[in-house]
Structure 1
Amino acid sequence: MDEHLPDWKNPALPPADRARALVAAMTLEQKISQLHGNMETVDIYALSNAIGTGADDESDEERMGQLMAQIRIDRHVVGIDELGVPRMRVTNGPVGVGMGDGTPSPPATALPMTIGVAASFDPAVAAAYGDVIGAEAAHLGQHVLEGPGVCLHRTPIAGRNFEYFSEDPYLSGVMGVEVTKAIQGHDVIAMAKHFVLNDQEHERFRANVVVDEHVLRELYLIPFEMCCKDAEVAAVMSAYNRIRGTYATENHATLTDILRSEWGWEGYVQSDFWSCRSAAPSLNAGMDLEMPDAKWLNEEAVTAALRDTSLEIETVDRALSRRFTQMFRFGQFERPYAPTAIPAERHGAVARRIGAEMAVLLKNDVDLLPLPASVGRVLLVGMAEYAGRACQGGGGSSKVDPLYTVDPLSGTRDVLAELGSDATVDLVVVERDRSNLAEATEAAATADVVVVMAGLVATEGVDLASPSLPFGQDEMVEALLAANPRTVVVLKDSTPVLLPWIDRAESVIEVWNQGAEDGHVVAELLWGVVNPSGKVPTTYAARAEDLMHHGDPVRYPGTDEGSGYPTMRYTEGLRVGYRWFQSEGIAPLFPFGHGLSYTTFALEDVAVATAAPDGTRPVEVSVTVRNTGTRDGAEVVQVYLGLPVDGQPPRRLVGFAKVRVAVGGSERVTVTVDPAASHHPFSVWDHAAGDFRVRPGRYAVHVGTSSEDDAAVVELDLRG
């Protein structure tokens, strides 16, 4: 080692020591240059208004695409050559590498949507998903991957549900942890987002969210807490919205008191793009990096704040040290910028495999599925986005420029050829105005099997007008169901939707927005090459009136309480998702955790045991899963807990395990629920103690295959 080498260039020193040494060597001008990104400042607010001014036949996704095309997204922080500080390259990436440093972004693998990862109920799927994203970010020379997104599906109309996992905090946290670990396994910084309560896109730059403390702690913070504690996520992205009147980027309670003082987290906080609203207040609150430009953390504003002592230089140093520590942690100062080619075929195979794992067989009343290889004449029919081409979701900054895509027609023909089938496959694309629907129904009537492909592609920047299929697709589905009784409905959604025709459909499978391998994945599912094993990650409602926010503007979209901006009050409390339906006694169309298979399973011999009944030792829930059908398959054992505490919903998910069982076989599964785990499975927030506490009483342990399954309920007495 060169004895004259400065400490920040000494890889033998701890990352935090190197970071402090580097900051100490920097001039004020250099420090300020590292507080912000370097895109040319644009008027994002004016551009955002363009979303609502497009042609009537354009989707919100298309308008968002036009908006993003007007912006040169230079996602980077400048380097400092004389100090050896590299240009820090940042890419978006909850659903694959997209919108990286520079425009256009280089092509990458278009993965299925994040909601589908949660639908797999399989941490291994989340790990494989994150592995592809992290590997491709590394191939492209990026230092930071803005993901995973771990906000909750509070409503099914939220525009970014596709890049969040689910309505349940524990499921979202488990998946977020696995994705984070996999990304950072490639020495790429992962960034959990959007912190916190960014549960809608409506008025996201202005909206205020008011929520009770115990609700914030027991629901919305849980996935972030899990990512920080269990995955040691290196960065967190602060949200656009206000939290109890204070912008998320200026909120000391969340950015410092919770993230750092309570959780002991040591990463850095980046603003969402243009969510920074000030210089001194943001840095003082705990935000460390403004992106993508220097609207606030520029030399003039920061210098003025230092001069008038509303900001101290130690706070600036703290912000820089936090980020440099993570860059040193992952060896990013020593790594040269040398992009390499993405292995498209290998990563595409992963996308194909995990895409099949997340499909949810919602309904199969007469066992029409799986289809036989000798099916005869098959007609694929639907609108262009869903039947004519691969359904790639993720409108807005999450959009991935795909290396390749497999369309439904070519993908179906590929799979049938692999099966040695002589079936014929044709395609009819229904126009958005349904002007050729009569021709489509006529073709459907003469087919041996009709596969209707319908769906919804949501986008960043705008919420859905309703939880329904757009462009009159419900009318299309109903007409095609009437034309041929041997009709399968394939849903390709960004979020659960209302299905008014469900009673007339005998076979329905939800595959989500699949991305590159859409055509292959769907065909493998329909013909039984893969046995579907996904589960509903967010409840399907039977009616719009059954949804928590319906008819209550206080909850959504908020009301102006005199400040000029909308305030949303989460008056539903803990009653979100399946907890809402169960608390209110409302029967869902398809409950959280529901999902059928081409085989059948039985759960037997449930046992619940703990070494100490005081709420401090793990509880082990064991069950035998028996395959009682005719095909190999996978089932998800789900464990829910009913707490003996007033005001708590009937149950919460506290554990799950996906198990594969051969025909005629059985597997013994044990799910361990640890009271000390970061998701606080047995605990409630104690306002007086300012911490989570286990209350004494009789807990109900529900073991089944959905949130509504009460096949086994075991009582457990805890002293607390």
Structure 2
Amino acid sequence: MTSTADERHAHSARSAGSDRSTGATGATGSAEAIRPADATDHTAAVSEALAALDLDTKALLLSGQDMWTLPAVPGIGLRSLVMSDGPIGVRGQKWSAEDPSVALPSPTALAATWDPELARRAGHLLAQEARRKGVHVLLAPTVNLHRSPLGGRHFECYSEDPLLTGAIGAGYVRGVQEGGVATTVKHFVGNDAETDRLTVNNRIAPRALRELYLAPFEHIVENARPWGIMTAYNQVNGSTMTEHHHLVNEVLRGEWGFDGCNVSDWTAARDTVRALRGGLDVAMPGPRTVFGAPLAAAVRAGEVTESEVDDAVRRVLLLAARTGCLAGVPAAVDPADVPSGIDGRAVARELARQSFVLLRNEPVGVARRVLPIDAARIHKVAVIGAAARDARVLGGGSATVFPEKIVSPLAGLRAALPDDVEVAFAVGADPRTRVPHARTGFTLRARYLAADGRLLADAPQFDGKVLAVGGFPDGVTRHNLAAVELAGGFTPQVTGSHTFAVSGTGDLRLTVGGAVLFDGRCAPDGGDPFEALMNPVERRVTAELTAGEEVAVTLRFVPLALGVGDGMSALSFALGHSEPQRDPDAEIEEAVRAAAGADVAIVVVATTEEVESEGFDRTDLRLPGRQDELVTRVAAANPHTLVVVNSGSPVELPWRERVPAVLLSWFAGQEAGAALADVLLGTHEPGGRLPTTWPARLADAPVTRVTPADGELPYSEGLFIGYRAWQRPGTPAPAYAFGHGLGYTDWTYESLHATPGSVRIRLRNTGARPGREVVQIYLAPRDAATGEAVERPARWLAGFAAVEAGPGETAETEIPLPDRAFEIWDEAAGRRRRIEGVYTVEAAHSIDDRRLATEITVH
């Protein structure tokens, strides 16, 4: 497998046998050069189409006609451009399970592969999904940085490092656009936290802005040529990003040469004139935005010129031409060249196991290491934790998609283990504060009804959550919909008192087995329509049920409103379910007994949507509920305990030294359990390396402030986020360093040769299994040639490559060191400046496990 696809390629392999290198990524370049997917010149066609439009039509083209689309103009052969949320799947125009989507692992997981080529293949799959759903523009990827572990959308971003973020993002963009579908790289720029994200003014010094936060966007623009950018809600240094003339027009378009379309984040555009002159092309969602009719009126009033409108329309028409939405104009990608026939489940499974990070793997006594598990040597496995049965496979918010099927860790292990191995399950400790959406044992459909009882639409449900934002199923409108019934059957697995929960803003009536359990109105105390939609009131009831006996279930919902404001259609309600609950102490005791009687205990701990989701930042890094206590108790009962951490971003692991093995699975997508079984049972290695530093305690993290004061959030740490800060003298050691991750074999770094242009490394697999190693190259400045004092981190990532080799084999790879690696942003001069002098070049397994070093002199 090649490690990247969006930059130049340089590697070699030598010695007998199957020596392999899998590509190299440098600070501005990586593996193979690929013909740009937008090589077709659409200038003449766009100009001809623009000339045929009047002012009002041009203004309408810059404004969404609804939640997800731009208007069509049949007179010039322009079809409606359709947009859809990503980044782990393609939801389409309907926020429901009516049309299931492949769900890939979270972006943090994708970055943990350190494999831009795998990101490119994920992009090919997502483009295939987009074409299937009639989507032309994917609203992804998110390339904001992990400035603080408290960032609520941390799971949707890639890394704390701009090079790794840029390389993975470029691979993703390449893949999607090679499939003929546009990307919108987001959120440009500084959307690194959720608190007050609509209004916060992030104060970022020019050097940190250039070297950190703008760098991934610049890398992607230069190396992958995205067709779209999404500007963020927040302000940067006093200007909201939808109106930021300097960063959009002068930097993004001027310095970097971006020629694509600039789309606002949803509802982010606030002023007609300032947005247009700030470089915004499209204001979403519609139909009421600051563009459209208000923009035409501004031209007629002399507030902006029609030529300024024309510039924006050209970019929209270019986007349409590139995606095949302008009749008579060849799309940027010939349909014959579009990757197709991709197995979504296979890609999701491969990506997951390549992303899993083995944080710890120690022997127990004189025995072998806990992982991989030898199924031939065991008779009983205890699988413990609510997330083992109900895995959290994706993050909340706009990243939500609805997969057709999810493989849980429990199901994956049961399917993979031999029939003679007993698998015992215990919840142990359930961290959820809300009743989970009805899923296991349920077969549900949503029936949309008119006031006279007519059936308007009937759609299958992935689980008990019915959510539609921006549009309803075909045949359903805000005007004809009166009620929705969620109906089907439920077959309990356990006899006893089952808990059902209803939530939504409106009148709800729940019937289970012919008995009405709830009939009443739910509404939040406050008047915030978004709270009513995304965090509705929950009411709980119970029912005595018998295992194996199916009962009919119907939840009827009559909403109080069918939208947020005048322009956004929306509907949200849910049926929740949990099995009979034991006393929490008894649950932990049951888990301890199961572990004590097993050859190996696997504890799955997780975050929940209540603590890790879009829309709010985290307040701590603790695992919710009594999960820490559960791990400690289970580990005391069984020394062969391994812990799987099912979270999208860092959590504290106070028990990590008490268990022999810890595996980080992230939000692992729909094939989570199948991939986990592959890795735990050793058919595949855990391929991941940490894309961000994991602190031992929140108090140790270098940046913990994500809440503005008086509307402003100063980035006072400057350059020192992530490992750049952890490398400073006197900083407590993290729990696990940037780049850390173990495999199932061992590697010896044998030689390192470096010039100011590239690094060549040879290493040997000294273990007993085939394996993959991610070689990381760090630069550590020793002396500046001029003797000037330039504040820089102790070291920074300058390139990386993945290599593969069998037992005893060697692999050799060459990694470029482009000029950018030796430059800083000179704030006084307003440009990049090369810092000459002596640098130590370090070849490393992680930033804290540096294996070889040499020096170079840069002139």
Normalised by the length of structure 1, the TM-score is 0.86
Equivalences, count:
646
Residues 345 and 450 from structure 1, CA distance in 2 versus in 1: closer, same or farther, beyond 3 angstroms? farther
CA deviation profile, 1:264-312 (whole Å, cap 9, x unmatched): 1101100001111111100111010011124433444213322332211
Listed one character per residue, the Cα deviations across residues 327-376 of structure 1 (whole Å, up to 9, x for unaligned) are: 21232324999xxxx99992101111111111111001111111111221
Q: Which position in structure 1 is the counterpart of 2:86?
A: 93
What is the CA distance between 1:18 and its match in structure 2? 1.6
Q: Tell me if structure 2 keeps the 8 A contact 1:77–1:89.
A: yes
User: Structure 1: which 4+ aligned runs deviate by more than 6 Å?
Assistant: 342-345
Find the aligned partners of 1:437 and 1:13 in 2 and give their Cα distance.
63
Q: In the alignment, is residue 692 of structure 1 matched against residue 832 of structure 2? A: yes
Counterpart-to-counterpart distance in 1, 2:224 and 2:40: 23
Distance 1:398 1:102, change over 3 A: closer
**2:802 alignment counterpart:** 658
Partner of 2:718: 573
Partners of 1:185 and 1:432 in 2: CA distance: 42
Could you tell me which of 350, 361, 364 is aligned with 1:364? 361
Q: CA RMSD in A?
A: 2.2
Unaligned 5+ segments in structure 1 are 1-10, 40-73, 611-618
- Structure 1 residue aligned with 2:49, among 16, 22, 27? 22
Alpha-carbon distance between aligned partners in 1 of 2:39 and 2:225, rounded to the nearest angstrom: 21
Structure 1 residue 528 and structure 2 residue 668: aligned? no
Higher strand share: 2
Q: Deviations over 1:474-505 (max 9, x none)?
A: 22222222222111101111012111111212
Q: Which residue of 2 aligns with 1:119?
A: 112
2:758 to 593, 604, 620: 620
Q: 1:667 aligns with which of 798, 811, 827?
A: 811
In structure 1, the partner of 2:410 is 409
Whether 2:700 is the aligned partner of 1:543: answer no
Preserved CA contact (<8 Å) 1:703 1:709 = no
| CA 266–393 in structure 1, closer or farther in 2 if over 3 Å, else same | same
2:824 and 2:97 mapped to 1: Cα distance? Answer: 47
After TM superposition, give the deviation of residue 130 of structure 1 in Å.
1.3
- The answer to whether the 8 A contact 1:467-1:496 is kept is yes
Cα pair distance change 1:81/1:334, threshold 3 Å: closer
Aligned residue for 1:3? none
Q: SS of 1:406's equivalent?
A: coil
3-state DSSP class of the match of 1:287?
A: coil
Which residue number corresponds to residue 452 of structure 1? 603
Structure 1: how far apart are the matches of 2:414 and 2:726? 42
SS in 2 for 1:216: helix
Alpha carbons 1:90, 1:101 under 8 Å: kept:
no
For 2:778, give the aligned amino acid.
Y
Compute the displacement of 1:709 (Å): 2.4
The letter for the 2-side match of 1:706 is S
Task: Say which SS state the counterpart of residue 705 (structure 1) adopts.
Answer: strand
The amino acid that maps onto 2:836 is P
Tell me, in whole angstroms, the C-alpha distance in 2 between the residues paired with 1:407 and 1:321.
47
Please give the secondary structure, in 2, of the residue aligned with 1:466.
coil
- In structure 2, relative to structure 1, the CA distance for the partners of 1:332 and 1:584 (3 Å cut) is farther
* Structure 1 equivalent of residue 421 of structure 2: 423
Structure 1 residues 493-532: aligned runs within 5 Å: 493-532=647-686
Tell me what 1:166 maps to. 159
- SS of the residue 1:681 aligns to: helix
Instruction: Work out whether 1:132 is the aligned partner of 2:125.
Output: yes
Match of 1:582 among 689, 713, 727: 727
Aligned counterpart, 1:395: 396
Mark the CA change 1:461 to 1:320 in structure 2 (over 3 Å): closer, same or farther. same
**Please, which moves more after superposition, 578-587 or 627-636?**
578-587
How much has 1:426 moved relative to structure 2?
A: 2.3
Query: 2:201 aligns to what?
Result: 208
Q: Could you tell me which amino acid in structure 2 is paired with residue 654 of structure 1?
A: A
Q: What residue in structure 2 maps to residue 47 of structure 1?
A: none
| 1:348 aligned residue (341, 345, 350) | 345
Query: Given the superposition, is the C-alpha separation of residues 123 and 98 from structure 1 closer, same or farther in structure 2, using an over 3 Å criterion?
Result: same
Structure whose residues are more often helix by fraction: 1
- For 2:600, the aligned partner's letter is V
**1:716 equivalenced with 2:847 (yes/no):** no
Query: What SS does the corresponding residue of 1:258 show, helix, strand or coil?
Result: helix
Residue 16 of structure 1 and its aligned partner are, at CA, apart by 2.4
Structure 1 counterpart of 2:146, which letter? H
Deviates more, 1:222-231 or 1:289-298: 289-298
TM-score in terms of structure 2 length: 0.73
- CA distance, structure 1, for counterparts of residue 286 and residue 627 of structure 2: 41
In the alignment, which residue of structure 2 is the partner of 1:312? Answer: 305
| 1:210–1:404 Cα change, 3 Å | same
How far residue 588 of structure 1 moved from its aligned partner, in angstroms, is 1.2
Larger radius of gyration: 2
Query: In the alignment, residue 381 of structure 1 is paired with which amino acid?
Result: I
CA distance in 1 between counterparts of 2:239 and 2:246 reads: 10
SS of 1:597's equivalent in the other structure is coil
2:379 to 376, 380, 401: 376
Return closer, same or farther for 1:707/1:602 CA change in 2, 3 Å cut-off.
same
Aligned mates of 1:606, 1:684 — CA distance in 2: 26
Percent of matched pairs sharing the same residue: 36
Listed one character per residue, the Cα deviations across residues 502-535 of structure 1 (whole Å, up to 9, x for unaligned) are 1212100111111110111111111111111211
Match of 2:467 in 1: none
Question: SS at 2:849's partner residue?
Answer: coil
Counterpart of 1:415 in structure 2: which amino acid? A
Pair 1:102–1:89, CA change in 2 (3 A): farther
AA partner of residue 30 (structure 1): T
The residue type equivalent to 1:485 in the other structure is P
**Structure 2 counterpart of 1:605:** 751
Evaluate the alpha carbon distance shift between residue 687 and residue 105 of structure 1 in structure 2; reply closer, same or farther with a 3 A threshold.
farther
Task: Tell me the secondary structure at the aligned position of residue 603 of structure 1.
Answer: strand
Q: How far apart are 1:143 and its partner, in Å? A: 0.5
The range that moved more, 21-30 or 163-172, is 21-30
Distance in 1 (alpha carbons) for counterparts of 2:790 and 2:411: 56
Contact 1:624–1:668 under 8 Å retained in 2: yes
State the structure with bigger RCO (CA 8 A, min sep 6), 1 or 2.
Answer: 2
Q: What residue is the counterpart of 1:7 in the other structure?
A: none
Q: What 5-or-longer segments of structure 2 have no aligned partner?
A: 1-37, 332-338, 364-368, 433-583
Change (3 A) 1:345 1:695: closer
- In the TM superposition, residue 105 of structure 1 has moved relative to its aligned partner by 6.4
Partner deviation per Cα, 1:380-413 (whole Å, 9 max, x = no partner):
1112xx2113432121111011022112222112
2:472 maps to what in 1?
Answer: none
What letter matches 1:76 in structure 2?
Answer: T
- CA drift of 1:101 comes to 5.7
Contact 2:81/2:136, CA 8 A, preserved across alignment:
yes
Counterpart CA distance in 1 for 2:628 and 2:828 is 51
Partner residue of 2:629?
A: 475
1:443-496 deviations in Å (ceiling 9; x for gaps):
222122110001225321111121222233222222222222111101111012
Q: Partners of 1:620 and 1:687 in 2: how far apart? A: 28
- Worse-matched range after superposition: 174-183 or 368-377: 368-377
Report if the CA contact (8 A) 2:92-2:130 is conserved: no
